[in-house]
Chains A and B, each alone.
Chain A
Amino acid sequence: MDLYDKDVVSIRDFTKDQIEGILDLSEKMVPYALGDKTERTLDGKILGNLFFEPSTRTKLSFESAAYRLGCDVIDVSEMSMTSISKGETLADTIKMVDAYCDLIVLRHPYEGSARLAAKFSINPVINAGDGAGSHPTQTLLDLFTMREAKGTLDGLNIVLVGDLKYGRTVHSLAEALTMFGAKITLVAPESLQMPDDTVSLLEEKGCRPVKTAILEDVIDQADVLYITRIQRERFPDPAEYDKVAGTYRIDNAILREAKSDMIVMHPLPRVGEIAPEVDGTQHARYFKQAFNGVPVRMALLNAILGGELRWRTSTRSRRSRFLPSGTGPSSTTSNAARP
């Protein structure tokens, strides 16, 4: 897995081997992400965290990942605080920030902005979400969460639910899953189904996704149920949003139809898609998924910036704070601490 100095714009920038390499490295990063061990492989490096759209998890987990590895962070959180509000092009902003840091992480409302940033930046660029386009690091942490829970990614039955049209996480994720022979079911109202060009990309890779609007028809077959928020901010017409808001809700009643080891994932934030009563069940993985953003982004930063890990022996161990004891394979994350 040689990712040194590479841009991460789309999940398509990775081979299957590279993805597996990142997931393996992410596993080793878990005790460092938890603070059980410390490592400063990126001491002296500076990360430019440019977030021109709201973000909680992605921004904070990139910052946490950087600090855990000794990397400093400079950041922008609002477009109004930059010269873009004065009419500066993104290209000029990127050229300027590029001079201040060693790697740029960019979230931006326009699709293709990360590709543009990569074109104008000498240092590597990581796409942290470009409009309704790609979100490759979310995809990597989603894959990591699935592999952690299921032990493998090969041949899983994945049900994607909710906003499959505007939800960028599901586009990248579905593409990545095709590399692992996943069976994909797309559950959404017709107006929010996955765009045809994304479906045709999946089909080009040999996947034949099944489309339906009725979750109850397919939940019993799922190994992973991945539900997304219907994003009000992506709808040009608020009336269209009102028509579909609240279409799907996961609660304990519907989970009775699911396999006992089926996991529920959500990129968060949730707005009513998952009832709080689900949080305490063996199905809930979404907070663990959010935590996994740290080790996965640590792995990426380390690989791209060329950090050298020395893999110190553990000084203390801490049981995963996200799962009740003994609930599934991910409770064995102590394996990740092996040198």
Chain B
Amino acid sequence: MKILGVNEYNIDSCISIGIHVQSGKGDAWKDIIKIEDRELDGDTVDKIALIAPDATISIIRDYYVAEKYTVKLDDHVIGLARCSNPNCITNKGEPVSPEFTVVCRKPTQLRCRYCDRILVDISNNLL
């Protein structure tokens, strides 16, 4: 919900959350967030890929699945999260966006392109 930027003051549509829902594919389970009247932009999808690299986005128009795709994490992540190292130059008011290189995809591990540290706690450092 933080990534989606949704709170009680800025949304008029219905939001549904399903936790531990049977997926219909064998014994698999999944969690679902369904948000009405909203299509996600690229940055939002990229942030979802950071914390849920296996997430699937379905866009439903007129009751039918118009688009369905799995999020994809690029090799380089720019401007989506801040470096968790407080002493990193990117946290010191310089005119640069934080940049990370993906060093591991499962679990997701990002290394800061400036200070070389591994980003700790991705979800709490999303911009």
Contact = CB atoms under 8 A, between A and B. Distances in A.
B88 A112 contact: yes
A76 interface: no
Interface in B54-100: 83, 85, 87-90, 92-96
A113 B118 CA distance: 17
Interface stretch (A14-22, A32-40, A127-135, A213-221): A127-135
A111 B90 CA distance: 9
Nearest to B93: A89
A108 B94 CA distance: 14
A110 interface: yes
Contact of B113 (A109, A115, A132): A115
A288 interface: no
A133 B116 contact: yes
Q: Which of A109, A110, A133, A200 has the most CB of B within 10 A?
A: A110
Interface in A100-139: 108-113, 115-116, 119, 130-134
A197 interface: yes
Given A10-B116, A116-B114, A133-B115, A111 B93 contact: no
A132 B90 CA distance: 15
Contact of A110 (B88, B95, B111, B116): B88
Nearest to A90: B94
A3 interface: no
Contacts of A197: 111, 116-118
Given A90-B89, A131-B87, A132-B87, A112 B95 contact: no
Contacts of B90: 112, 116
B3 to A, nearest CB: 25
B45 interface: no
B96 to A, nearest CB: 6
A111 B115 contact: yes
A89 B94 contact: yes
Interface of A: 10, 89-91, 108-113, 115-116, 119, 130-134, 197, 200
28 contacts: A89-B93, A89-B94, A89-B95, A90-B89, A91-B94, A91-B96, A109-B87, A110-B88, A110-B92, A111-B87, A111-B88, A111-B89, A111-B115, A111-B116, A112-B83, A112-B88, A112-B112, A112-B114, A112-B115, A112-B116, A115-B89, A115-B113, A116-B89, A116-B90, A130-B115, A133-B115, A134-B116, A197-B118
